[in-house]
Chain A
Amino acid sequence: MSPHAGIPSLKSTTSEMSISRKHILDLDDFTAEEIQLVLDNTVAMQEVISRSVRKVPALRGRTIVTLFHEPSTRTRVSFEQAGKILSADVINVSSSASSSKKGESLYNTALTIQSMQADIIVVRHPHSGSPNFLARHLDSSIINAGDGYHAHPSQALLDLYTIQSHFGDIKGRKVAIVGDIMYSRVARSNLWGLTKMGAQVVLCSPPTLIPPDFVNGFPKTHPFASVSITHNLSEAVKNADVIMALRLQAERQSRGRLPSLREYSRLYGINSETVKLAKEDVLIMHPGPINEGIEIDTEIAHGPHSAIQDQVTNGVAVRMALLYAVASANGGDK
């Protein structure tokens, strides 16, 4: 691979600052410096996206397969677009088109894909740990595009990028993550990313939607020791720089975790009153898709504080940076 691969401002991953990992399964194994490098390279990728001819040869000759066993629009499309801008060949395999409906195991499906010379497999799966499983048994690089309620590293990175590009920094910023922490892979990966980057994180949820071992807070030696927990939205968003609302699945009500979406919205919905409690320039974020009027009021979701569209836009550049990092780690030209 040529040093800049058509992207002059890119920080080479062969320098001292490198992200040498074959797989991207979560952010737990990233250092703050490595995260920063991805964010810096995302800036370079944004520049590529802004060109009139959006194409660089960085991953020419590489094959990326997106293997999605769960419905997704923005994540799959943005990985596909990221791969195509970097000149990789991108093949999309989705659950309805794949053999999983015929009862083929994930293992056999993945072996088939690997035997088609996939350099990178981008996987989305409803079962936590599926990317780890594939990484264990395949030779291809695996990028986790969201697994069960375990992790969603590319989403967390694009959230970090969105915060950094808005404020210029992340360290010391108060970030309130509000909603279904229990079943959120976005919250879990963001916990890693935000704490590593020095943000002050507050988790806010109904008592039924937080992992049981989180409820009493984290011990001093814990990587999340600085994270605080509350069930009170006003307390959580007070002086917050960022409010990140999470998607609520309707089944939480039918499974008995919530009395009603109405009461959830009353207690945890982000509205103009909530925003007033936060800092004046508060950033409102949501990984999407939004249940407008439940997690966030429509006027806020589309209002001046909202970064929700930026998150989607930034997703492509972040995923370009990730694909580039993984491809470089795999040793340049084939």
Chain B
Amino acid sequence: MTKRLLIKGARVLCPANRIDSTMDILLESEKIKDVGLNLNVTENVMTIDASGLILAPGFIDLHCHLREPGFEHKETVKSGSAAAIKGGFTTICAMPNTDPVTDDATSIQFLLDKAKVQPARVLPIGSATKNSEGKELTEMAEMVEVGAVAFSDDGHPIANDMLMRHALEYSSALGVPIIDHCEVPSLFTNGQINEGWIASRLGLQGIPSAAEEQMVDRNIGLAKLTGGWVHLAHVSTKGSVESIRNAKELGINITAEVTPHHLTLTEDAILHGINQEGAYKALNENAYNTMAKVNPPLRTQADVEALIEGLSDGTIDIIATDHAPHASIEKLCPMQEAAFGISNLETTLASALSLVHNKKLSLNRMIESVTSSPAALLKASNNKIGQLTKGFSADLTLFDLDADWIVDVDQFVSKGKNSPLNGEKMKGKVVLTVYKGQIVYSNISKDLVSK
């Protein structure tokens, strides 16, 4: 019999069970065996003294990019999984923008075969249309049978309204969402960063908020029409939040996610910190920060505040990382040539906790948005994750709420070192990650572990 694991004295936080108190937790045979006060287990057990730390269900990310097959120079299933557990994530959902595109049962199975040996649960998202070209639907039913948890054309918005309608109708029988990257292609044309004073200052094509909002509104309309389930990827604007709030009040079947960077950064990051008050200060050689180039683009402070409010009140369901690793040369170039995306898995917790430390978001809601809330969206395929409940998968994240650290991308285990947070001071760090009862990542002092 493999050893059991007993974690004692942590502040246990399980939003689904409304738990926030000091407790012990016992894990056995990949499952949560017991959660309670003063659990006394002495035989065949490894005990960890976790007092002063926070214990939460293992984090779940509904949106990341593992780049395999096709772009192994950016990331692999293995390196992405390692980054996930270092960041506290025990379940990650991989977007299908690989080469070839993950758009049939065979390619779903390829990913699942790779996933089997990883220290985290890697779940495949299938492409909604063949080769993500937005022309014909994929064989969604067969992909679900194999293990697909959602469908998306990832960075390619499903621009054809009728096809989107049919995708929603077809998937409604399968209980999984269509995840749409909302952006009207003709309003995006060659856009680089948010449309506004910085784009105009730097001579870059802007991406207006309307490009996103118009497609959010269309998707709400189609969800209403079909009853199908649209999940809106990485919403970035105040207008999107308002539309989603209104739609939810009407009972329309939509869910939405927000990324840690859209919750914490503004377009100012493009200028390496010259903000609007210093708007027209002289630029220098650092002005074009390709690390802050991401799609949808970083927006304004008003958008950031609306997104936080939307996350707080449940208008936005979850935090998703949109982890988008790139090779260094893909950011080492002029802005217009730079790839979109941020390597996020290893900084998401600290970014999200900054909102907690600044009292803009409750700790409970923050944890919920990376545990039971995303779990609810994966219910059709994986119904025993995201909670510290007896019988659920023994996936846990133990973190130090107040640990200070400085982001150093060279320490990332992800192959993607592309982060605008490099060198930033952060507060809050993962100490231990447990997946299916096994310690898969540990940064904990040996003194606290007794065998």
Q: Does A127 lie within 8 Å of B334, measured CB to CB?
A: yes
Residues of B within 8 A of A185 (CB): 203
C-alpha gap A28/B196 in the complex (Å): 19
Q: Does A28 lie within 8 Å of B280, measured CB to CB?
A: yes
Contact residues of A between 120 and 165, Cβ < 8 Å to B: 125, 127-130, 132-133, 135-137, 147-151
Which one of B219-227, B282-290, B399-407, B418-426 contacts A?
B282-290
Contact residues of B between 264 and 307, Cβ < 8 Å to A: 279-288
Using A133-B288, A223-B280, A224-B280 as known contacts, say yes or no to A211 and B200 having CB atoms under 8 A apart: yes
Using A213-B196, A222-B279 as known contacts, say yes or no to A132 and B329 having CB atoms under 8 A apart: no
Residues of A within 8 A of B202 (CB): 128-129, 150
Within 8 Å of chain A (Cβ to Cβ): is B41?
A: no
Q: Does A148 lie within 8 Å of B203, measured CB to CB?
A: yes
Q: Does B203 lie within 8 Å of A149, measured CB to CB?
A: yes
Interface centre among B281, B284, B285 (most CB of A within 10 A): B285
C-alpha gap A137/B281 in the complex (Å): 22
Within 8 Å of chain B (Cβ to Cβ): is A23?
A: yes
Within 8 Å of chain A (Cβ to Cβ): is B332?
A: yes
Within 8 Å of chain B (Cβ to Cβ): is A188?
A: yes
Q: Does B203 lie within 8 Å of A136, measured CB to CB?
A: no
Residues of A within 8 A of B336 (CB): 127-129, 148
Q: Does A132 lie within 8 Å of B283, measured CB to CB?
A: yes
Q: Does A147 lie within 8 Å of B203, measured CB to CB?
A: yes
| Residue of B with least CB distance to A151 | B203
C-alpha gap A201/B336 in the complex (Å): 30
Taking a contact as CB atoms closer than 8 A, the residue among B280, B281, B334 that contacts A106 in the complex is: B334
C-alpha gap A151/B283 in the complex (Å): 11
Contact residues of B between 189 and 214, Cβ < 8 Å to A: 195-197, 199-200, 202-204, 206, 208
Q: Does A132 lie within 8 Å of B287, measured CB to CB?
A: yes
Within 8 Å of chain A (Cβ to Cβ): is B313?
A: no
Map CB proximity to B onto A206-219 as digits: 1 under 8 Å, 0 otherwise.
Answer: 00000111100000
Residues of B within 8 A of A296 (CB): none
Main secondary structure on chain B at its contact with chain A? loop
Residues of B within 8 A of A127 (CB): 334-337
Within 8 Å of chain A (Cβ to Cβ): is B333?
A: yes
Q: Does B203 lie within 8 Å of A28, measured CB to CB?
A: no
Taking a contact as CB atoms closer than 8 A, the residue among B196, B204, B279, B329 that contacts A128 in the complex is: B204
| Residue of A with least CB distance to B279 | A222
| Residue of B with least CB distance to A210 | B200
Residues of A within 8 A of B280 (CB): 28, 222-224
Interface residues on B, range: 20 to 34
Contact residues of A between 185 and 203, Cβ < 8 Å to B: 185, 188
Within 8 Å of chain B (Cβ to Cβ): is A107?
A: yes
Taking a contact as CB atoms closer than 8 A, the residue among A28, A29, A130, A212 that contacts B200 in the complex is: A212
Within 8 Å of chain B (Cβ to Cβ): is A325?
A: no
Q: Does A28 lie within 8 Å of B334, measured CB to CB?
A: no
Residues of B within 8 A of A106 (CB): 333-334, 337
C-alpha gap A106/B332 in the complex (Å): 9
Using A150-B203, A211-B200, A214-B200 as known contacts, say yes or no to A29 and B332 having CB atoms under 8 A apart: no
B337 to chain A, nearest CB (A): 6
C-alpha gap A315/B200 in the complex (Å): 27
C-alpha gap A184/B409 in the complex (Å): 37
Q: Does B284 lie within 8 Å of A29, measured CB to CB?
A: yes
Within 8 Å of chain B (Cβ to Cβ): is A26?
A: yes
Q: Does A125 lie within 8 Å of B200, measured CB to CB?
A: no
Taking a contact as CB atoms closer than 8 A, the residue among A25, A128, A212 that contacts B334 in the complex is: A128
Residues of A within 8 A of B287 (CB): 129, 132
C-alpha gap A130/B335 in the complex (Å): 8
| Residue of A with least CB distance to B329 | A105
Q: Does A212 lie within 8 Å of B288, measured CB to CB?
A: no
Q: Does B203 lie within 8 Å of A128, measured CB to CB?
A: yes
Residues of B within 8 A of A212 (CB): 195-196, 200, 206, 208
Residues of B within 8 A of A130 (CB): 334
| Residue of A with least CB distance to B208 | A212
Residues of B within 8 A of A211 (CB): 199-200
Q: Which 9 pairs, one residue from A and one from B, show the smallest C-beta to C-beta distance? A: A150-B203, A29-B282, A129-B288, A211-B200, A128-B203, A135-B285, A136-B285, A127-B334, A149-B203
Give residues in A with beta carbon < 8 Å to B: 23, 25-26, 28-29, 105-107, 125, 127-130, 132-133, 135-137, 147-151, 185, 188, 211-214, 222-224
Apart from A29-B284, A107-B329, A129-B287: 7 A-B pairs, beta carbons within 8 A: A26-B283, A29-B282, A132-B288, A133-B288, A133-B333, A212-B195, A212-B206
> What are 17 A-B contacts with C-beta separation under 8 Å?
A25-B285, A26-B283, A28-B280, A127-B335, A128-B288, A128-B335, A129-B203, A129-B204, A129-B334, A132-B285, A132-B288, A133-B334, A135-B284, A148-B203, A211-B200, A212-B206, A214-B200
